[in-house]
Amino acid sequence: MKNIGLILLILSIILFASFHLFSFNNKSIITQQQCISKSDDLNETRRRNYDSSSLKPIIFIGGMPRSGTTLMRAILDSHPSVRCGEETRVIPRMLSMRAAWKKSTIEWNRLLSGGMTESILDSAVRAFVYEILIHHSQSADILCDKDPFVIKYSSYVSSLFPNSKFLLLIRDGRAVIHSVMTRKVTITGFSLTDYRQNLKIWNKGMETMYEECEQIGPDRCQMVYYEQLVLQPKKTIGNILKFLNISWVDSVLHHEEFIGKKISLSKTEHSTDQVIKPINLEALTKWFSHIPAHVKRDVDSLAPMLKRLGYDTISDAPTYGTADPFVLENMNRLKNNADFWKNQTKMYARQIPTRVN
């Protein structure tokens, strides 16, 4: 009887242990399945987010530096449905890196042989650009990026974001060069003393951007002349909003009222102290009488894009058009409140960052 009792006790212990072991294994399997399911759901969510990002309406503002890109983005930033923000500076570098990979046959083949297909790279670039834009500033219905040199990659970016649109800012190259040199804007390739070299660099960059814009077509890329933007802002901005399928609001004519509120400006950008003012004509003709005689003589060979874009290269003081009453009133405001705007300019004067906060 003692042996039978011991055997029954041992059997009971074995059965009890087996039951709990079976129950634990089942729970473990269920937990693993739940984890796998959650992981799959997360991956699917991420995939949908990345895929949907390509369908988001995004505006890309570009052009040669000193061509009015900051003013253009400030105008759009004053619209309640749009958010551009300051230059990201990283997006054009990422696009440049991807272009360099594709341009180098050896490097591109290395990537492909390592399993990095073009589709994977494009998906990664799309996710990178979208992630930067979505977290760059305040949320809005329409995202916008103002990185001047992004326009050099318009055809590629347009393939990543099929619902994106591009604004190419165009300005008289002589005015651009004068602004670069007098405001001491450091741009790779440009000189602070050599007009001839600068016109060649401007011409090369402008030609690339112009042809990229033409390649994706007028339905995706609109060329905006700086001169018309400041001379006839109501008409020009109206055409831009129509192109972007954005409703008109009067706030787009008064971007200066939103500086420091909806519109943030970086003091490291050269245009900040100019954009704080209402749309005006102050910078339109500053370059007149400052181009050296030997440069004027050879301007058509140094920068043939000037004629191609429709600029008068013969006159020393070309006429860009007539200013509308709204701009003339802004000029009076600036004149009658000169001290106020002078202080504002000092407040937003460019600062070179010396440390990282």
Which residues are designated catalytic? 87
Burial of residue 166, with CB atoms counted within 10 A of its CB: 0-12 exposed, 13-18 middle, 19 or more buried: buried
Residues 6+ apart with CB under 8 A from 288: 316, 317
And the tokens for 60?
A: 């890309």
CA distance 99 to 91: 12
CA distance 186 to 184: 6
Cβ–Cβ < 8 Å for 165, 60: yes
Cβ–Cβ < 8 Å for 87, 266: yes
Ordered DSSP codes for 34-97: HHHHHHHHHHHHHHHHHHHHTTS-EEEEEESTTSSHHHHHHHHHTSTTEE--S--SSHHHHHHH
| Long-range contacts of residues 30-33, Cβ cutoff 8 Å, at least 24 apart | none
CA distance 11 to 6: 9
DSSP letter assigned to residue 355: S
- Helix locations, the chain, DSSP H: 2-53, 69-77, 91-103, 105-113, 118-136, 154-160, 173-182, 195-216, 226-231, 233-244, 272-275, 293-297, 299-302, 305-308, 325-336, 338-347
Cβ–Cβ < 8 Å for 198, 177: yes
Task: Name the nearest CA neighbour of 228 among 288, 287, 150, 169.
Answer: 169
